[in-house]
Amino acid sequence: MTAVEQVRSGGLGIYDLHGRNAVVVGGSSGIGAATAVRLAEVGATVAVGYRSGRERAEKVVESLPGEGHFTVPIDILDTAVLTAAAEQLASVFGRVDVLINSGGTTVRIPHDDLDALDDTTFDQILAANVRGPFATVRALRSLLEASGDGVVVNVSSISGFTGSGSNVAYCASKAGLDSLSRSLGRALGPTIRFVSIAPAAVDTDFVPGRDREAVAAQAASTPLKVLADPDDVAVSILGVVTHLRLTTGSLVVTDGGKWL
């Protein structure tokens, strides 16, 4: 039963993840790993996707409550690998109810240093942060449609609408990812809904060369003054999946008020 059909039959209620299958791209560390834990805690069976961190992904799987969790190689820049991942997921799961796109990349480059942001770096960032999530959805589309009520959460950033972040290309890529959520939310409803979630800086090693003090200083400048860790974002993602049942194509901001 689709979300729309559930509304017409008397309401959606809370999305119960028992018996549901979830795929977390970039699930071997950071926000992805924390999200895998949260999904498993509420009953989902989780496939932890990884590109090169197989051992980290296996440790995440070992830490998950419940049974049936496994790792799957997912390189969002390699269509052949994505196709193989889709085949594995089809064999094990049969359908995908939840997809979390938390993979991506960036580097620190001052916004006014245009020469340092060369063509290769620019293209790599856009490919990983925009084309990669799109290619993942394309590869898993039939599995998400088989759910009848699938949800995709794209991990974005307030950089996509503030224009402030690790570099100009990163900001542009997150704006593109948010547009992707809107476009696909419109195109693939009602069987699949799409939501972008936009944190500010999170206490991870995602940005090479950025130390914890810099993240803490940014957090201290926000109205809520909260130093966000990966689980803070994971809880918000879980809320999108389980409670924001009539939300699609939207951007959910979880930044402590940084954008204000």
Q: Report, as residue numbers or ranges, the catalytic residues.
A: 170
CA distance 88 to 69: 13
Strands (DSSP E) found in the chain = 21-25, 45-50, 70-73, 98-101, 150-155, 192-199, 250-254
105 and 132 Cβ atoms separated by less than 8 Å? no
- Contact assessment for residue 96 and residue 23, using Cβ atoms and an 8 Å cutoff: yes
Q: What is the DSSP letter of 57?
A: H
Give me 207's structure tokens: 């940005």
Phi, psi angles (nearest 5°) of residue 37: -65, -45
Picking from 131, 141, 132, the residue whose alpha carbon sits closest to that of residue 51 is: 132
Full DSSP string of 104-153: -------TT-TTTS-HHHHHHHHIIIIIHHHHHHHHHHHHHHHHSSEEEE
Q: How many CB atoms lie within 10 A of CB 53?
A: 17
Q: What is the dihedral of CA 40, 103, 97, 194, to 10 degrees?
A: 130
